[in-house]
């Protein structure tokens, strides 16, 4: 099969997956809107089911190393690199934990999708307003302590253009300082080739997730020190094959 035919087949596959995503987001979104106010725990299982089905439809497998390092009775703050839009379903599938993400407030305005995000306990943040951003961080800390969930942070703030680890924004680590739980760096590989930042084409393949050792943060560490420590751990994990 020549490159042109492979490209056409890839585009058809991507269109079908996008159609499925739209349908599944509406279906699972309404399910979560109905069940969420009654039981967030049950609705989060549908969230994980949606993520695994999405990856399955795209022909994407998730290979996880280090899952034994996690105690699923504990809550964590996961610090992950960000390569692609599919990082989130990859983490839902790979970490096998109830997760809450901090996302820009605009996403919460999307009908059904955004509403279900709010019901499920994800946290919106106003990046253009420092005071509101700080309040969002405190809301996230309160949610972590109140509910049996872990939080996920992408301290790069955006997806990497070429898959390499970018600079960390230190503001993210205000949450780490306040959380009072262990921090777990998580290295994600290969998702930039499965769905790159500048492409809508979804490729089949394997996303790799490496769970690093949980880290206890000292009360004496400032945001810059924590940021540098997490960046160093993730940089090494991404370099190891």
Task: Band the pLDDT of 63: cuts 50, 70, 90.
Answer: very high
Q: How large a percentage of the chain has pLDDT more than 70?
A: 93
Task: Band the pLDDT of 55: cuts 50, 70, 90.
Answer: very high
Global confidence as pTM: 0.88
Q: How large a percentage of the chain has pLDDT more than 90?
A: 34
Please tell me the predicted confidence (pLDDT) of residue 241: 63
Mean pLDDT of 113-137: 77
Average pLDDT, the chain: 86
Concatenated DSSP letters of the chain:
--HHHHHHHHHHHHHHHHHHHHHHHHHHHHHHHHHTTT-HHHHHHHHHHHHHHHHHHHTEEEEEE-GGG--TTS--EEEE----TTHHHHHHHHH-S-EEEEEEGGGGGSTTHHHHHHHHT-EEE-TT-HHHHHHHHHHHHHHHHHSS-EEEE-TTSS--SSSS--PPPGGGHHHHHHH-S-EEEEEEESHHHHS-TT------EEEEEEEPPPBPPPTT--HHHHHHHHHHHHHHHHH--
Query: Is the per-residue pLDDT at 58 higher than 80?
Result: yes
Please tell me the predicted confidence (pLDDT) of residue 1: 53
Q: Which of 92-101, 139-148, 169-178, 204-213 is least confident? A: 139-148
Which of the pair, 97 or 126, is modelled with greater confidence?
Answer: 97
Please tell me the predicted confidence (pLDDT) of residue 69: 94
Mean pLDDT of 147-153: 84
Q: Which of 76-85, 120-129, 190-199 is least confident? A: 120-129
Query: Is the per-residue pLDDT at 7 higher than 70?
Result: no
CATH 3.30.70.270, domain 3-239, yes or no: no
Query: Is the per-residue pLDDT at 2 higher than 60?
Result: no
Which residue ranges make up each domain of the chain?
Answer: 3-239
Query: Is the per-residue pLDDT at 10 higher than 80?
Result: no
Please tell me the predicted confidence (pLDDT) of residue 240: 79
Task: Band the pLDDT of 130: cuts 50, 70, 90.
Answer: low
Highest mean pLDDT pick, 20-34, 99-113, 130-144, 157-171 = 20-34
Query: Is the per-residue pLDDT at 199 higher than 60?
Result: yes
Query: Is the per-residue pLDDT at 133 higher than 80?
Result: no
Please tell me the predicted confidence (pLDDT) of residue 191: 93
């Amino acid at each position: 099969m020549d490159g042109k035919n492979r490209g056409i087949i890839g585009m058809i596959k991507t269109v079908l997956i996008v159609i499925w995503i739209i349908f599944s987001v509406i279906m699972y979104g309404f399910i979560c809107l109905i069940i969420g106010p009654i039981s967030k725990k049950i609705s989060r299982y549908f969230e994980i089911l949606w993520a695994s089905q999405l990856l399955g439809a795209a022909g994407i497998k998730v290979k996880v190393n280090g899952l034994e390092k996690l105690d699923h009775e504990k809550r964590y703050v996961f610090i992950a690199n960000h390569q692609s839009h599919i990082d989130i379903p990859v983490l839902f599938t790979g970490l096998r934990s109830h997760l809450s993400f901090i996302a820009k407030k605009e996403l919460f305005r999307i009908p059904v999708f955004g509403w279900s995000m709010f019901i499920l306990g994800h946290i919106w943040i106003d990046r253009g307003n420092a005071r509101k951003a700080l309040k969002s961080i405190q809301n996230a800390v309160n949610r972590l302590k109140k509910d049996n969930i872990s939080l996920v942070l992408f301290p790069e703030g955006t997806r990497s253009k070429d898959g390499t680890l970018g600079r960390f924004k230190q503001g993210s680590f205000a949450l780490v300082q306040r959380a009072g739980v262990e921090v777990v760096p998580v290295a994600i590989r290969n998702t930039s080739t499965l769905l790159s930042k500048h492409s809508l084409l979804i490729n089949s393949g394997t996303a790799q997730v490496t769970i690093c050792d949980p880290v206890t943060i000292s009360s004496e560490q400032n945001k810059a020190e924590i940021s540098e420590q997490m960046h160093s751990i993730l940089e090494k994990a991404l370099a190891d094959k």
